[in-house]
Chain A
């Protein structure tokens, strides 16, 4: 798994809205964000569930998408956010 991961759902409007921002982030920073779809891929879903103790305190006590996760620092963002916040998550 890459350092930066986005767990997303194919039919989630927040995820759809965040995709162009993730594209921009990759272009601007040269980073690569691994996009893992969780409703149509059980392996990805199980992986996301395995991070439940880390994600749920940041996500209203639940597993929500999109969830942005830094696998090295455990930094987690949940939901639709401004580009600057996403960039800060990816670059700090």
Chain B
């Protein structure tokens, strides 16, 4: 079962079945202790109050794609429209929900549509040369030969 864990040295929070052996923030070994969801919420709530703009989100997802086989769609108008939806959904519904799907009001299910979602399993992505996430925010990186013919 997925639980919350806290690094006793730097308060890094981990959400998962088991904690990392080495804390990725402070590098201390065997540093995690199981905590309650309430504690995790309080600790995570503090930095969350800081502003996280659309530019911050773009930087975050660009960084996320760097070493992956996919990239952020270069179609800026599409990205802007999706960002409007993602940020409106966070403001109105609490999380960065996918603008091209709908929450079903069951948290476990709804966590599957928080952006970026696990889109590599989508039929619009998996096994396709020009695959993209359901919304088209992420696309498979074109092969180098396609970029420079």
Of the candidate stretches B12-20, B58-66, B78-86, the one touching chain A is: B78-86
**Of the residues B81, B93, B100, contact of A65 by C-beta under 8 Å:** B100
| Measured CA separation A60–B85 after assembly (Å) | 21
At the interface, yes or no: A43 with Cβ under 8 Å from chain B?
Answer: no
| Measured CA separation A16–B89 after assembly (Å) | 17
With A39-B89, A40-B92, A60-B123 known as contacts, the answer to whether A11 contacts B104 (CB < 8 A) is no
**Of the residues B97, B100, B113, contact of A13 by C-beta under 8 Å:** B100
With A9-B85, A60-B122 known as contacts, the answer to whether A52 contacts B104 (CB < 8 A) is yes
Query: Interface residue tally of chain A, by bracket?
Result: 20 to 34
* B-contact 0/1 string along A36-55, CB 8 Å cutoff: 00111000010011001000
**Of the residues A14, A39, A60, contact of B102 by C-beta under 8 Å:** A39
Among A16, A62, A65, the most chain B Cβ lie within 10 Å of the Cβ of A62
At the interface, yes or no: A63 with Cβ under 8 Å from chain B?
Answer: yes
What are 11 of the A-B contact pairs (CB < 8 Å)?
A11-B81, A11-B99, A14-B100, A38-B102, A39-B99, A45-B102, A49-B102, A62-B101, A62-B112, A63-B101, A64-B134
